[in-house]
Structure formats: C-alpha cells, structure tokens
Amino acid sequence: EVQLVESGGGLVQWGGSLRLSCAASGFTFSNHAMNWVRQAPGKGLEWLAYINAAGTAISYADFVRGRFTMSRENAKNSLFLQMNSLRDEDTALYYCARDQDWASDFWGQGTMVTVSS
Amino acid sequence: QSALTQAASVSGSPGQSITISCTGTSSDVGAYDHVSWYQQDPGKAPKLVIYEVTQRPSGVSHRFSGTKSGNTASLTISGLQAEDEADYYCCSYARSGIWVFGGGTKLTVL
C-alpha cells in the first residue's frame, strides 16, 4: 500500500525556519518524481515545488523560490522541504504527493505549519 | 504564474450532470495536455480523479470525465450522487517544471 507521511510541522515565529519531511513506503520511491503542495486554512491548493526521481531537477513556485529548498534521499525513501524566512502567509497544511503521469496520484495527510508574528 | 480560473461553486440534483470549467492561458492549459483534477472532501487529502485531460485512474467512477478545448479544461460528473459533494481543483503543467492549480469549485448536491 502506498503511504506518504509528512512530519516536521509546528509553530514557528515570523522569519524562522522549519524542515518538513515526507516518509514514503509501499512503492519504489526512487522511480517517482514528487511534489509539495500546501493549503492555507479555508483556502485552495497551491503547488510549491517539484523534484524529479533522481533529485537532479527541481522547480519552485515563484513565491517560494529563494526561501524554500526541496530535496530527497532515495536511499532512505525520504523527501524534504527546508523552509526559511517564513511569513504569515506560509501558514498552511503542507502535503507531499507522488507524481505519476504528470499528476499527483497519492497524497499524504499533511503537516500543519503555523507562522506566528 | 497566475492561478487557473474556476467558478467558486456549482450545484446539481442527484442524477443530473454537472460540468466544472477551468480556464487558463496559452502558456498552461492551452499549451499542454497535462491537466489533472482532484476531489477533496472536508478535512481530507485531495484525491486524483482525472489526469492527462481525459484519463481516469483505476478505481475512479466512470461517471467522472474530462475534456479540454483551447485554454479551458472541463470536468463532468454524470449521474450526480450525494457522495460527489466535495471541492474540486484543476491543475495544469505550465512550463519548465512549474505547475498551477485552479482556485477550486465547491460542488453541492441538492
């Protein structure tokens, strides 16, 4: 069974940093690209970042480029999102999602990040 | 990259068909056939219901179908059921590994 479990969320002060993790199981992690997507309370989905299967190509949404860094460790079936210079508007539920056929076919349950000013 | 445009809400009665539209530009929806649709129940993670404009993942009801014309993609749900009530989001590949979501449409089954 495909499982994605996010962790690392929490309460952080404005300007602070957090590192999110996503543990993958039930599939060959190294064969799949991955995405991070977030959802602010009561709002819609926002795509944040994409990483290819090998970790050699990474892309970011304009509003996080330069502040967020996505990475992966295939040997440990793990995906990461390093978030720096956090702002109020970064408060959201952060999902990792598996990429298959140019879509996100499996999603974790998300980890909540709250930025306090 | 601007969000794709979706109506905020749509409604229909059981048994009816409804269509949710997703309008982008010639740089995203109009440029690529990498359009997907997600269903999200309250408090739950999104679920993929359509990928590559028209493809339905295994296990998704055949009542869900997708199309695209120009810069607009559409999701149609036929034979509406109470369990279809949810938020629906479109997503399109834009360029160079960039993706963009629509603002979401709340479907109410009357």
Give the tens place of pLDDT for each residue, B55-92.
Answer: 999 999 999 999 999 999 999 999 999 999 999 999 99
Q: Is A57 part of the contact surface with chain B (CB cutoff 8 Å)? A: yes
| pLDDT recorded at residue A98 | 98
- Do residues A9 and A112 lie in contact, with contact meaning Cβ atoms separated by under 8 Å? yes
In the numeric block, the tokens 């695209």 are attached to B68
| pLDDT recorded at residue B27 | 92
One pLDDT digit (tens) per residue for chain A, 117 residues: 999 999 999 999 999 999 999 999 999 999 999 999 999 999 999 999 999 999 999 999 999 999 999 999 999 999 999 999 999 999 999 999 999 999 999 999 999 999 998
Q: What is the identity of the amino acid at B70?
A: G
In the three-class reduction of DSSP (H, G, I as helix; E, B as strand; rest coil), residue A75 is classed as helix
Q: Is B10 part of the contact surface with chain A (CB cutoff 8 Å)? A: no
By CA distance, what is A95's nearest residue in B?
A: B45
A-to-B residue pairs, Cβ atoms closer than 8 angstroms: 66
Q: Where are the alpha helices (DSSP H) in chain B?
A: none
In the numeric block, the tokens 């279809």 are attached to B84
In the three-class reduction of DSSP (H, G, I as helix; E, B as strand; rest coil), residue B84 is classed as helix
- Do residues B66 and B53 lie in contact, with contact meaning Cβ atoms separated by under 8 Å? yes
pLDDT tens-digit series, residues A66-80? 999 999 999 999 999
Contact A47 B57 (CB under 8 A): no
| pLDDT recorded at residue A102 | 93
Q: Is A111 part of the contact surface with chain B (CB cutoff 8 Å)? A: no
Q: How far is B99 from chain A (nearest CA, A)?
A: 6
Token pair of A35, please? 């995405």
- Residues 24-53, chain A: which have Cβ within 8 Å of B? 35, 37, 44-47, 50
Which of A104, A105, A112 to probe the B interface (max B CBs under 10 A)? A104
Q: What is the identity of the amino acid at B7?
A: A
In the numeric block, the tokens 């999603």 are attached to A107
